[in-house]
Amino acid sequence: MIDTQELIEALHYIKKFRNQVFIIKFSGEILLDENVLESIATDLVLLHDVGIRPVVMHGAGTLISSNMEKMGLEPRFIRGERVTDERTLDVVVGCLHRVNNKIIDKINHNTAIASDTATAVGLTGGLFKAKRKRKELGYVGDVVDVNSKLIYDLIGCGYIPVILPVGIDEEGNLLNINADIATGELAKALDVTKIILLTNVGGVLGRDGRLIGRLTVSETRDLIKNKVATKGMIPKLESSVNAISEGVERIHIVRAGKHAILGELLTEEGTGTMITK
């Protein structure tokens, strides 16, 4: 028989989160596991159908590197950010676009549940104004401004926005933006209080290689400074620190297992690492 205590808990969260916007960030790696992706898409549709408003942000890291190699291009990174020359940019955008459509497709044609109201929609542009970062990174940018009205309009019409991290600068150049950083900026712009970063790691590991359950902002800064955090984790932690300093209350770094979002949002027990003020 059902554990009613858990059900009551879930109902509390459903009520509490009704009409709230959350950002769910998908790391590129996790998109490779069809079962997990399908299961997470199911979560998004279910949450949407009971009145919660998810916004999806994603990267395409693994795919980009692999496709670059097929094209004879060598992936290079500086402090966790991809060096992006003009040819690389085409591959980056092409791969992000593919991944974006894959997520949209999983949500819109979910085989586990048939929703008549949840429709995912992807945006190519008009969302991030950006400016170039250090020259050596090439076409890589920082977010300068976010068109949050556009996202709220889409949410208001009942859509689940699925966003890829590409911006445009003053000269009209397309710029590759680190997905974790874009997530933080989007959260600030949308006045979102909770971000879920879905990874294939499932949390921040300490010096001893064990998962850290909770981190304050200052502890997180230490992890970055002391180079305990891995390369891929650095932008996640940096953007988390930044987002929290701008008003986001909680960031959950969670392993992308089956129904990971549902478990994270509708139950009390956390998994992975929660970063707070």
Gap between the Cα atoms of 158 and 117, Å rounded: 7
Segment near its own copies (CB under 8 A); pick from 94-102, 187-195, 216-224, 228-236: 94-102
**Among 32, 69, 79, 105, which residue sits at the site for its own copies (rule: CB under 8 A)?**
105
Q: For its own copies, which is the closer residue by CB, 121 or 205? A: 121
Q: Is position 144 an interface residue for its own copies (rule: CB under 8 A)?
A: no
Binders of its own copies among residues 118 to 137 (CB under 8 A) are 119-127
CB of 68 to its own copies, least distance (A): 10
**Among 62, 108, 148, 276, which residue sits at the site for its own copies (rule: CB under 8 A)?**
108
Q: Is position 254 an interface residue for its own copies (rule: CB under 8 A)?
A: no
Taking a C-beta distance cutoff of 8 angstroms, is the pair 57, 160 a contact?
no
> Cα-flanking dihedrals φ and ψ of residue 200, to 5°?
-95, 5
**Among 32, 78, 145, 153, which residue sits at the site for its own copies (rule: CB under 8 A)?**
153
Binders of its own copies among residues 206 to 245 (CB under 8 A) are none
**Among 20, 33, 50, 242, which residue sits at the site for its own copies (rule: CB under 8 A)?**
50
Binders of its own copies among residues 180 to 199 (CB under 8 A) are none
Burial class (CB in 10 A: 0-12, 13-18, 19+), 50: middle
Q: Is position 267 an interface residue for its own copies (rule: CB under 8 A)?
A: yes
Q: Is position 62 an interface residue for its own copies (rule: CB under 8 A)?
A: no
Gap between the Cα atoms of 214 and 271, Å rounded: 10
CB of 83 to its own copies, least distance (A): 17
3-state secondary structure of 45: helix
CB of 258 to its own copies, least distance (A): 7
CB of 115 to its own copies, least distance (A): 8
Q: Is position 24 an interface residue for its own copies (rule: CB under 8 A)?
A: no
Taking a C-beta distance cutoff of 8 angstroms, is the pair 64, 75 a contact?
yes
CB of 30 to its own copies, least distance (A): 16
Tokens at 33, concatenated? 């596991």
Gap between the Cα atoms of 236 and 138, Å rounded: 21
> Cα-flanking dihedrals φ and ψ of residue 119, to 5°?
-125, 125
Gap between the Cα atoms of 152 and 161, Å rounded: 9
**Among 69, 77, 145, 150, which residue sits at the site for its own copies (rule: CB under 8 A)?**
150
Q: For its own copies, which is the closer residue by CB, 10 or 211? A: 10
Q: Is position 70 an interface residue for its own copies (rule: CB under 8 A)?
A: yes
CB of 257 to its own copies, least distance (A): 10
Q: How many other C-beta atoms are found inside a 10 Å radius of the C-beta of residue 255?
A: 16
Gap between the Cα atoms of 17 and 180, Å rounded: 23
Q: What angle do CA 263, 205, 235 make, to 5 degrees?
A: 85
Q: For its own copies, which is the closer residue by CB, 75 or 263? A: 263
Q: Is position 200 an interface residue for its own copies (rule: CB under 8 A)?
A: no
Gap between the Cα atoms of 161 and 53, Å rounded: 9
Smallest CA-to-CA distance from 222 within 236, 241, 243 is with: 241
